[in-house]
Amino acid sequence: MSEEQSVTTVSKLKKTGAVAAPSLFTLGNLACGFFSILSAAHGNYGKAGWLILFAAVFDMFDGRVARMLGTESNFGIEMDSLADAVSFCTAPAMLMYFMVLQRYSTWGAPIACVYACFGILRLAKFNTMALAGESSKKYFSGLPVPAPAAILASFAISYSIMQHTSNGHNLQIMTVYLPYIYNIVAFAMIVMAFLMVSTVPYAAFKSKRHHKMNVWSIMFLVCLVVLLIRFPQDIVFIVMSSYVIFGLLAVLYRAFKGIKIEK
């Protein structure tokens, strides 16, 4: 083999590795969703919740790795959506069914099914808009599926911790309100399901913005990181719930003020 052929072979191997790298993250996302469903079916709700959150971490990196390596492709986009359908649509629905909804003999399963189906519709809508060039870098049209999945997963973790430990692994405010949240899970899932297929704009945080950090912003971020390290499940629940609620409030505010959204 000549030196030129050797260089070409190495180049091809490097390119193949670059293409495969994002797919490994996507497969990690899918594997977490799969094992989350198995854990929920066996009553390990806290473990199932953690696996969904780990799937979200994998999902955060697969697209970024593809862009960094310059290997974005339609194959990767489709594969990512299929993994998301399992990890952020089916897995949370199954987790909540086994944990909460199965006590409602008549309509527990239909609610879980509606949540999963509407989540998959949201993914199909997102892909269609992206292919048509209609997607926005500033806003998602409808609630992105990882957000409600993270809310349900972190709730499952916090509730499991509250049931099995008594040494303060949850924020006090969460311990107080978790039983009330448990009783409205079915209603919350219906609301989030409709938000996923709605046209309510939610911040995408994709565009690069350069803001000067003041002292208060830095202090807030430091406190948030410390709390995230100490109570990760509670902070994820609070942050993601705030994201959902503030998105709705922003729509009401814009409607009241007559402000149009910049795409």
Residue 261 pLDDT more than 80? no
Backbone angles phi, psi at 144, to 5 degrees: -65, 140
- DSSP code at position 208: -
User: Hey, where are the domains in the chain?
Assistant: 3-257
CA angle 162–169–229, rounded 5-degree value: 135
75 or 167, which is more confident?
75
Confidence of residue 77 (pLDDT cuts 50, 70, 90): confident
Write the pLDDT tens digit of every residue in 221-255: 888 888 888 889 999 999 999 999 999 998 888 87
Distance CA 80, CA 62 (A): 8
48 or 258, which is more confident?
48
Which residue is associated with the tokens 């009401």?
Answer: 252
Which residue is associated with the tokens 């448990």?
Answer: 182
Assign 139 to helix, strand or coil. Answer: strand
Mean model confidence pLDDT for the chain = 84
pLDDT of amino acid 18: 54
State the alpha helices, DSSP H only, in 100-171: 108-131, 146-164
By mean pLDDT, which of 14-18, 72-76, 185-189 is the weakest?
14-18
* Superfamily (CATH H level) for 3-257: CDP-alcohol phosphotransferase transmembrane (TM) domain (1.20.120.1760)
Rounded mean pLDDT of 200-204?
A: 88
Q: Are 92 and 147 in contact (CB under 8 A)?
A: no
263 or 59, which is more confident?
59
pLDDT of amino acid 14: 46
The neighbour count for residue 131, using CB atoms within 10 Å, is 11
Region for residue 131 given its phi and psi (left: phi exceeds 0; alpha: psi -120 to 50; beta: otherwise): alpha
Write the pLDDT tens digit of every residue in 168-197: 588 888 889 999 999 999 999 999 999 999
Q: Are 154 and 53 in contact (CB under 8 A)?
A: yes
pLDDT of amino acid 239: 93
Report the relative pairing of strands 139-141 and 201-203 from DSSP bridges: antiparallel
Positive/negative CA dihedral, 127, 132, 134, 137: positive
Confidence of residue 69 (pLDDT cuts 50, 70, 90): low
Query: Which pTM does this prediction carry?
Result: 0.86
